[in-house]
């Protein structure tokens, strides 16, 4: 992700745009993808960051899932007690969880956590995009999006989205009405591993749609690389 006011050119790469792969370039700043195509304009070479991959890289849009973070070291364990840890220690758990989410291509984490204020502090400190889900009144910060839950109803910017237990689905219960995939009960953030679970359950196509759907639901973009889309880009470097 580029810094504010800075532009980036990723040249000579494979780009997944929806269900089509093209060979070309991506030109973006920190707010949006400015241009995409097969041949970059010479003026784009003046960007602050220029990377030429000689067609040994693949770019695709980032993903979004919901999970908890404060219990990061105890994923998959039902019996644990966070009360023995200080707030600073719990923030370290949250930080480690966010790091692994990003490593796994989750560029828009949706956090359902009993410590939403601590999550917000970590997101702000590291300038990470994210969505916080809360059923209590908490302080809001610019740059962080919020889903508020009241009487099991999820609201986004005062718009009623629906019932929490219908919008947030675990991997074994995903369906076309789900908006957010909740992986809180899984011991891994690895989307490849989770995809295998979805495939075995016969829900692979629904899973693939669901991990970009939050971008559409929250009005960020269409969940694909395109002009005007948010530059939440995953780049797989295939060079030796």
Q: How confident is the model at residue 139 (pLDDT cuts 50, 70, 90)?
A: confident
Q: How far is CA 5 from CA 29, 87, 139, 216, in A?
A: 7, 34, 28, 25
Contact at 8 Å (CB) between 112 and 68? yes
Instruction: Give the CATH number of domain 8-62+224-237; options: 2.40.50.1040, 2.40.128.720, 3.40.50.920, 2.30.40.10.
Output: 2.30.40.10
User: What's the rounded mean pLDDT across residues 122-130?
Assistant: 95
DSSP state, residue 153: E
Radius of gyration of the chain (CA): 19
**Per-residue pLDDT tens digits for 184-226:** 999 999 999 999 999 999 988 889 899 999 999 999 999 999 9
Average pLDDT value for residue range 173-178:
90
Could you report the per-residue pLDDT of 59-102, keeping only the tens digit for each?
A: 999 999 999 999 999 987 877 889 999 999 999 999 999 999 99
**pTM of the entire structure?**
0.92
In 3D space, the residue among 60, 56, 55 whose CA is nearest the CA of residue 19 turns out to be 60
Closest by CA position to 120, among listed 165, 100, 90, 82: 90
Strands (DSSP E) contained in 38-195 are 49-52, 57-61, 66-67, 110-112, 131-134, 145-150, 153-156, 159-163, 168-169, 180-181
> Could you tell me which of 149, 166, 146 has the C-alpha nearest to residue 157?
146
Q: How confident is the model at residue 122 (pLDDT cuts 50, 70, 90)?
A: very high
Whether 55 shows a pLDDT value over 50: the answer reads yes
User: What pLDDT band is residue 4 in, cutting at 50, 70 and 90?
Assistant: low
**How far, in Å, are 142, 157, 170 from residue 166 at the CA level?**
28, 19, 10
Q: How far is CA 7 from CA 51, 131, 182, 189, in A?
A: 11, 25, 34, 30
What's residue 3's pLDDT? 45
| Residue ranges covered by each domain of the chain | 8-62+224-237, 66-217
Q: How far is CA 215 from the centre of its chain?
A: 9
């Amino acid at each position: 992700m580029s810094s504010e006011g800075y532009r980036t050119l990723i040249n000579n790469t494979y780009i997944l745009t929806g269900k089509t792969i093209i060979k070309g370039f991506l030109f973006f700043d920190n707010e949006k993808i400015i241009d995409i195509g097969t041949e970059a304009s010479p003026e784009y070479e003046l960007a602050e960051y220029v990377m030429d991959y000689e067609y040994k890289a693949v770019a695709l849009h980032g993903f979004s899932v919901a999970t908890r973070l404060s219990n990061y070291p105890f994923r998959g364990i039902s019996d644990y007690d966070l009360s023995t840890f200080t707030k600073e220690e719990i923030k370290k758990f949250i930080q480690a969880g966010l790091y692994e989410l990003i490593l796994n291509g989750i560029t828009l984490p949706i956090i359902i956590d009993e410590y939403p204020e601590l999550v917000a502090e970590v997101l702000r400190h590291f300038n990470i995009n994210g969505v916080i889900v809360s059923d209590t009144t908490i302080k809001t910060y610019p740059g962080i999006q919020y889903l508020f839950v009241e009487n099991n109803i999820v609201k986004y910017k005062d718009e009623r989205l629906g019932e929490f237990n219908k919008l947030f689905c675990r991997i074994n219960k995903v369906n076309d009405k789900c908006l957010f995939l909740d992986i809180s009960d899984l011991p891994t953030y690895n989307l490849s591993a989770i995809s295998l679970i979805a495939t075995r359950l016969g829900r692979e196509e629904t899973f693939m749609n669901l991990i970009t759907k939050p971008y559409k639901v929250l009005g960020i973009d269409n969940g694909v690389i395109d002009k005007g889309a948010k530059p939440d880009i995953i780049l797989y470097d295939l060079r030796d």
